[in-house]
Amino acid sequence: MKVLVTGGAGFIGSHVCKALAEAGHEPVVLDNLRTGHLWAARFGPFVHGDILEIERVAEALKTHRVDIVMHFAALAYVGESISEPDIYYRTNVIGSLSLLNAMRLAGVSRIVFSSTCATFGNVDRKIGDNEAQNPINPYGASKLMVERILRDYAAAYGIGSVALRYFNAAGCDPSGELGEVHDPETHLLPIALQVAAGTRSQLDVFGTDYPTPDGTCIRDYIHVCDLADAHVAALNVLETGVFKAFNLGNGNGFSVRQVIDRVEAVTGRKVVWQAAPRRLGDPPLLVADATAARVKLGWVPRFSSLDDMISHGWSFMNNQQNKLAAT
């Protein structure tokens, strides 16, 4: 199948493109390259464009005879969403509406949507697919709005969709071909690795007084390649006129301090950190119950070990530094 991948030059989107190509599909990347990287869009045709450009997207869908869309193009910084909600609702909600209407123009009726555990808000237990969704920041709210739009578009226009709600994506392609490169970097694991590598002076731990065993936030980390596998599996359950949603996580929570300890153990380097005030919009606990994804998608994570995620990220980071040193 031919799959249009919006945001396919980004961290998760590029890994999904590689998984699609390895499964025998042809990914077509649509990306505006504001946060993505052209070097990561290497597994099929590339279209420079923005999801807000309805005619441009519809043309790409028609020209490449796309069968299915996978939608990753979005803004995803919780803190930024609180200070600048306007750009989040414009990009994530209006952009998704534009994409769906371009699909209608081109006669494409199936989509896999990159959603998030941030749609749930504060939950003090493992989160199942049917948990009440009460987001506490505009980022999560914007993604929940798109899920609702997908439900309505399924009922009104027959567009079938699967929303995959990620918990904390981490790790990198084990071959070192792809990895996590953000500017600015806000994710805990790559920041901790940068401190271990000596390219960043210290790590800020935002909040040490949460109601958790060591006072720091607990998150469920999921390897980006396992996320990619779930997207390929989702192709098999798409049905016209039906909306489905699945949580993607390992079901194990690690606190910020536990992550720092494991980074130090895997890399053999010290990670200097300091306590900082809590960030708005951060819940204390986010851990998935991904039973439905395992049963209904036949999805089995290959890299569930946090140490594997750290090791793969560390290898990619060192390879990147070696390449820069050689130029």
Tell me the catalytic residues: 139
Query: In the structure encoding, which two tokens stand for residue 210, read together?
Result: 């949460």
- The single residue listed with the structure tokens 């989160």 is 127
Tell me: cis bond preceding 45? Omega within 30 of 0 counts.
Answer: no
Distances in Å between the Cα of 115 and the Cα atoms of 43, 71, 76, 93, 324 are 23, 9, 10, 12, 34
Relative to beta strand 203-206, strand 160-166 is unpaired
> What are residue 146's phi and psi, to 5 degrees?
-65, -40
Q: Please name which of 246, 54, 57, 245 lies closest in space to residue 151, comparing C-alpha atoms.
A: 245
| Helix or strand run (H / E) with residue 291 | helix 291-296
DSSP string, 92-116: IIIHHHHHHHHHHHHT--EEEEEEE
Query: In the structure encoding, which two tokens stand for residue 267, read together?
Result: 């890399």
